[in-house]
Amino acid sequence: MHYVEIDIEEYPDLTLQSSVAGTPTVQIVNLRNRAEGEEVVTLRGVKKGSEYKAQILESLDG
Amino acid sequence: MFSGEPLAVVGGGDSAAEEAVYLTKYSPEIHLLVRGTSMRASKALQDRVLGNKKITVHFNTQVLDILGDDPDVPFTKSPVTGVKLAPVTKGGEGEGERELAVRGVFYAIGHDPNTNLFEGFVDIDQKGYVKVGPGTPSTSLEGVFAAGDVQDPHWRQAVTAAGSGCMAALAAERYLSVRGLVREVHQPKDDLARTKGTEAETAAPAAAPVAAAAAGASSSSSSINSHSNSGGVHSMAAAAESDQTNTYHKGETALAELLASSSKPILVMFMSKTCGPCRILKPILGRVLKVRIEDGVCMRVFFHSPSTLSFSLPPSLALNVQARARAAGLLDLYFTVVGLFTLLILPHSPSLSPSLPPSPPPLRNSKGKCTTWRSTSRSIPT
């Protein structure tokens, strides 16, 4: 698992491209099937730790 | 979404003035809509608002409607297209009504303390604040203590809320121990043994890591300097370890490289330095990732700070730091208490959210052994 932090003020273009409309937004990018394109899960706002954990586990195992 | 767009702020108090001035960072055109013929904000804040060329103040103005009906507006654009305004002192129906083109409307019209759920249990004053004894967090009900903005009609600052949270936590602790209701929780014996063991290990090889640390400091500090503003920490990480461990990165360059090369999932956290909720979320993510680490998955943490030295910790010492952090669990309780009470009110400014300390980054590589931990001196808990 890689963790990348993007400051939306430093990278406004990337933020727009990623359809991020507010902070904090967490996106989990799954690169397992690269040929079929990236699978992106978006979690907006602050959620419970368990929700992030579930998504992370899914991206690692699924 | 709002950057560069015309915006409106409703209200005439301190928080409205502050909000308007704050928003000029993002927008060149701010309209402050004040119902009265003058502002209630302090003179100093009024001067800052009136003297700011980006802010237009509209007195004697009330908001009738917020306009914007386009259902197909893209997600990254604000659906708001304007506000419908009218003078407060009305002549005939519809007289003086006008529309103002803005892409966002921000309310700063004061707040009510969110104390309804305590009504009937503890005494609440007319304005809705929980009544406390002068200078104490004690409420009318024995054993119930109030902290933060629910009991503070005057100061309402993050720092005063944090202070009163500490008072309430200590008062609650004292209340319980006086009545013999405290159950002390000791560290499990296994943990203690492990800590002792690691201490002994630390003593023996101490000399070597220190030397390594010195070498690491000189080389890594120079590489930090050379990349300081370009997410260069990533390149350092890549150079240091080519196998796929969990990593911490910053910036678009790092993300692009990972997207191109990694087969592992990437968690991208979009944040902003001025965003209070981001500071709350970071330790949550830290805890989540730590769960994976305890499952045996590795995480390497590279903190990025050009101004401070990097150094390596021997693995056993790093574990020790973790153990100590666990012992400092009381601090967590304290922040939870403060967080709770601060969340009970509607925060209008980002400064109301308490800034939580980031959890100490643990580390262990895929072979189950700890690897080097590069960190700034500031992030080591003491």
Compare all CA atoms of chain A with the CA of B250 and give the residue at the minimum distance. Answer: A5
Please write the tens of the pLDDT for every residue from B95-115: 778 889 999 999 888 778 888
Does residue B300 have a pLDDT over 80? no
Asked if residue B183 is part of any domain, the answer here is no
Residues of chain A with pLDDT under 70: 33-37, 62
Asked if residue B231 and residue B166 are part of one domain, the reply reads no
Which pLDDT does position B206 carry in this prediction?
41
Asked if residue B218 and residue B316 are part of one domain, the reply reads yes
Q: Which residue carries 């500090």 as its tokens?
A: B221
Interface check A42 vs B, CB under 8 A: no
What is the signed CA dihedral for B21, B26, B27, B28, rounded to 10 degrees?
80
Asked if residue B137 and residue B220 are part of one domain, the reply reads no
Compare all CA atoms of chain A with the CA of B289 and give the residue at the minimum distance. Answer: A53
Compare all CA atoms of chain B with the CA of A42 and give the residue at the minimum distance. Answer: B268
Pair B26, B4: CB distance under 8 Å: yes
Q: Does residue B358 or residue B21 have the better pLDDT?
A: B21
3-state DSSP assignment of residue B302: strand
**Using CA atoms, how far apart are residues A19 and B4, in angstroms rounded to an integer?**
17
Cβ–Cβ gap A1/B275 under 8 Å: no
Does residue B373 have a pLDDT over 50? no
Pair B86, B97: CB distance under 8 Å: yes
Residue A36 C-alpha, separation from nearest chain B C-alpha, in angstroms:
13
Interface check A54 vs B, CB under 8 A: no
Asked if residue B234 and residue B127 are part of one domain, the reply reads no
Asked if residue B301 and residue B351 are part of one domain, the reply reads yes
Does residue B213 have a pLDDT over 50? no
Does residue B353 have a pLDDT over 60? no
In this structure, what CATH number is given to the domain that contains residue B73? 3.50.50.60
Residues B146-160 as b or e (16 or more Cβ within 10 Å = b): bbbbbbbeeebebee
Q: Enter the ipTM.
A: 0.91
Asked if residue B134 and residue B196 are part of one domain, the reply reads no
Asked if residue B307 and residue B223 are part of one domain, the reply reads yes
Residue A60 C-alpha, separation from nearest chain B C-alpha, in angstroms:
7
Asked if residue B238 and residue B284 are part of one domain, the reply reads yes
Please write the tens of the pLDDT for every residue from B236-291: 444 433 334 567 788 888 888 888 887 788 888 898 888 888 888 888 888 777 64
Asked if residue B2 is part of any domain, the answer here is no
Q: What is the mean pLDDT of residues B314-337?
A: 43
**Using CA atoms, how far apart are residues B137 and B130, in angstroms rounded to an integer?**
10
Q: Into how many domains does chain B fold?
A: 3
A60: nearest CB among B250, B262, B265: B265
Asked if residue B265 is part of any domain, the answer here is yes
Asked if residue B207 and residue B173 are part of one domain, the reply reads no
Does residue B380 have a pLDDT over 70? no
Please write the tens of the pLDDT for every residue from B145-180: 999 989 988 887 788 999 999 999 999 999 999 998
Which pLDDT does position B318 carry in this prediction?
39
Print the domain residue range for B72: 7-107
Asked if residue B171 and residue B24 are part of one domain, the reply reads no
Asked if residue B1 is part of any domain, the answer here is no
Confidence band, pLDDT 50/70/90 cuts, at residue B89: confident
Residues 6+ apart with CB under 8 A from B299: A1, B245, B246, B247, B248, B289, B290, B292, B293, B361, B362, B363, B364
Asked if residue B289 and residue B215 are part of one domain, the reply reads yes
Which pLDDT does position B93 carry in this prediction?
67
Handedness of CA B165, B171, B177, B179 (dihedral sign): negative
Which pLDDT does position B382 carry in this prediction?
39
Instruction: Name the interface residues of B facing A (CB cutoff 8 Å).
Output: 1, 3, 75-76, 246-252, 254-255, 258-259, 262-273, 275, 277-278, 280-281, 284-285, 287-289, 291-292, 297, 299
Which pLDDT does position B140 carry in this prediction?
92
Interface check A59 vs B, CB under 8 A: yes
Confidence band, pLDDT 50/70/90 cuts, at residue B132: very high
Pair B14, B41: CB distance under 8 Å: yes
Residue spans per domain, chain A: 12-61
Cβ–Cβ gap A46/B284 under 8 Å: yes
- Of B63, B84, B107, the position where a domain reaches its end is B107
A contacts of B263 (beta carbons < 8 Å)? 31-32, 34
Does residue B220 have a pLDDT over 80? no
Pair B307, B371: CB distance under 8 Å: no
Which pLDDT does position A20 carry in this prediction?
85
Asked if residue B60 and residue B165 are part of one domain, the reply reads no
Q: What is the mean pLDDT of residues B193-199?
A: 56
Which pLDDT does position B355 carry in this prediction?
42
Does residue B335 have a pLDDT over 50? no
